[in-house]
Amino acid sequence: MANKLLNTINIPKQLFGILSDLKTQKKFISNNISPLLHQFETINDGSLTEKDFQKINKYYGLAVPAILGEAFCMLRGFDMNELERLTSTSQGVVTGLFDDFFDDGNISEQEVKSMLEEPRLYKWKNTGEKLIISFYIKSLDNTVNPEQVKEGAMNVFNAQKKSLEQENSAISQSRIWEITQQKGGESVLFYRYGFKHSLKDGEEEALFQLGSLMQLENDIFDIYKDYQSQIYTLPILIHNVEELKKFYTKQKDLFVELSYKMDYPKENVKLFLDRIMPIINRAYVCFKQYKKLERSNKNIFDASKFSRKQLICDMEKSINFLRTVLCQINSKY
């Protein structure tokens, strides 16, 4: 009861903090990133779509610094500086576009390796590659840890290569989870390397687990898209919503446990979790929606039996926002 009361009291402060940081990042994008993107729109040869620019402005370029980046800063106890914000935003731009370019087969494995190792020497073939390289170089030029960022980018790429195994219907659930962990874990560590402070004891393990959890959550929301693309993920192969929910909760609890083992003041860890958990708890809104679908299909959750409208969990709906708030109130960490 005391935990719920405290969470209820903290909700307005948490929401205000998130909205304030999103506003700050939107202003940064408008002043520093949008003019550069406009140049690429002007010379676009068709390799960049409107969806690509939306991903930069509304998702990766926005959320990576404003959510994850600010959470890293809460953990260390001091604010993000302008160079860190530029680095983090640039990393978001790169990862937001890179996945699609690699998945679409527009670039070979050797080309990606060359691009990441020697970006200034790489001969781009289209506007999309030029944009990725430009912001990748920007992330390296503005961080105090360029070699670590470069190593992190290579780790993300290697994890992305492994995800090609998920196109094989015979892949095991245990292998899928290994790949899910690698994709998510290496991505969060890549973003963390853009900040100037060194990792503390236990931080790498906690952030890797956070990335694993966030990738799993992403797969939970992307069931329809992944099913249509014939990508095999745990949410597609686990046909019982309660089983999937229990697995997700187990991973969430492990993340919280590892977070409190980090060598940071406990009050900083609590602030860090206050920023992260509202994002993590969104999955429970999805579970509620999927549970209804499961009941309508003889208690079997099978993505092939449901429409896009049924499987898409729209978090912009007011009812889903309220459900997320309720999940946050009931959270224990």
Any idea what the Cα angle at residue 314 is, between residues 176 and 187, rounded to 5°? Answer: 40
Structure tokens at 251: 């991973």
Mean pLDDT for 128-153 is 97
Structure confidence at residue 227 (pLDDT) = 97
The closest of 290, 173, 296 to 242, measured between CA atoms, is: 290
Q: Which amino acid is at 200?
A: K
Structure confidence at residue 105 (pLDDT) = 60
CB burial of residue 123 (10 Å; 0-12, 13-18, 19+): exposed
Q: Which residue has the higher pLDDT, 10 or 122?
A: 122
Structure confidence at residue 205 (pLDDT) = 99
Question: What would you measure as the largest C-alpha separation in the chain, in angstroms?
Answer: 61
Per-residue pLDDT tens digits for 154-185:
999 999 999 999 999 999 999 999 999 999 99
Do residues 301 and 224 lie in contact, with contact meaning Cβ atoms separated by under 8 Å?
A: no
Band of pLDDT at residue 3, cut at 50, 70 and 90: confident
Label residues 190-212 b or e (16+ Cβ within 10 Å = b): bbbbbbebebeeebbbbbbbbbb
The closest of 56, 83, 80, 54 to 68, measured between CA atoms, is: 80
Q: Which amino acid is at 11?
A: I
- Whether residue 10 is predicted with pLDDT greater than 70 in this model: the reply is yes
- Whether residue 104 is predicted with pLDDT greater than 70 in this model: the reply is no
Distance CA 28, CA 33 (A): 7
Per-residue pLDDT tens digits for 191-242:
999 999 999 999 999 999 999 999 999 999 999 999 999 999 999 999 999 9
User: By residue range, what is the domain housing residue 21?
Assistant: 2-329
Distance CA 21, CA 15 (A): 10
Q: CATH code at 189?
A: 1.10.600.10
Any idea what the Cα angle at residue 163 is, between residues 128 and 138, rounded to 5°? Answer: 35
Per-residue pLDDT tens digits for 258-280:
999 999 999 999 999 999 999 99
Q: Which amino acid is at 131?
A: L
Distance CA 255, CA 267 (A): 17
CB burial of residue 271 (10 Å; 0-12, 13-18, 19+): buried
How many CA atoms within 13 Å lie on the side-chain side of 19? 6
Structure confidence at residue 1 (pLDDT) = 60
Distance CA 212, CA 218 (A): 10
Taking CB atoms within 8 Å and a gap of at least 24, the contacts of 213-216 are: 213/184, 213/248, 213/251, 213/252, 213/255, 213/280, 214/184, 214/188, 214/279, 214/280, 215/180, 215/181, 215/183, 215/184, 215/185, 215/187, 216/180, 216/184, 216/248, 216/251, 216/283
Structure confidence at residue 33 (pLDDT) = 97
Q: State how many domains the chain has.
A: 1
How many CA atoms within 13 Å lie on the side-chain side of 323? 17
For the chain, give the percent of residues with pLDDT over 70: 98
